[in-house]
Structure 1
């Protein structure tokens, strides 16, 4: 069931959110990553929050999604935020409370109500 849900997102909603991320408007950013098996370049829309060390991503679907597994394997990726590309040099676990706080209100409240607790720091610079 989960695989079908992810396929549906990839082939419908992701197409719209990729366009939104490219435009630099709205809440979406774009992570560009290289497939760990295929070597092919992919772009996946995600939502991030800016912090001094880089950006915080919430792992809505957990660690078993391809974009996350690909950047962990590569140790890097590129991130398009507000129309500007950033080089991500590392990905690290991030404390749950600090991760929710990084998103500010009302997103912080939504993340708390949904009991989201898997956050990652996408370190830049």
Structure 2
């Protein structure tokens, strides 16, 4: 990873992520929360994301990998699973699958899809999930 990209991601971690984490935990706004365990550290992390889909209706959510497939949350989920807190409910990630860009864009729909197209985003993952009964968000 280049020096500029690493510095940019570090800045996001210190500034924007704390704000979006609070929104995700409250089930407000467009943010969901991904809980994952570090591959090396064994620590639990929480990462805010904007996801598309209806986990209750279809059993899956769609993630757009803005920073590629080498980001820690994604690598941790692929290696060891994780959970998603989406609109106040907790789901266990059952599987992760690469999907075609058109399918990912359709999942986001409307204005979000148009923005993703303008930004030339094409890296999407389908996250199959199961509701965790009685889990605290």
- TM-score clears 0.5: yes
Which has the larger Rg? Answer: 2
How many residues end up aligned between the 2 structures? 124
Q: What is the aligned partner in structure 2 of residue 47 from structure 1?
A: 50
1:89 to 91, 94, 97: 94
2:41 is the alignment partner of 1:30: no
Does the residue aligned with 1:106 lie in a helix, a strand or coil?
A: helix
1:49 is displaced (CA, Å) by 0.5
Report the TM-score, using the length of structure 1 for normalisation: 0.96
In structure 2, runs of 5+ residues without a counterpart are 131-137
2:24 is the alignment partner of 1:21: yes
Task: Supply the distance in 1 between the matched residues of 2:7 and 2:120 (Cα, whole angstroms).
Answer: 23
1:53 is displaced (CA, Å) by 3.7
Does the residue aligned with 1:88 lie in a helix, a strand or coil?
A: strand
Q: In angstroms, what is the RMSD of aligned CA positions?
A: 0.9
Report the TM-score, using the length of structure 2 for normalisation: 0.88
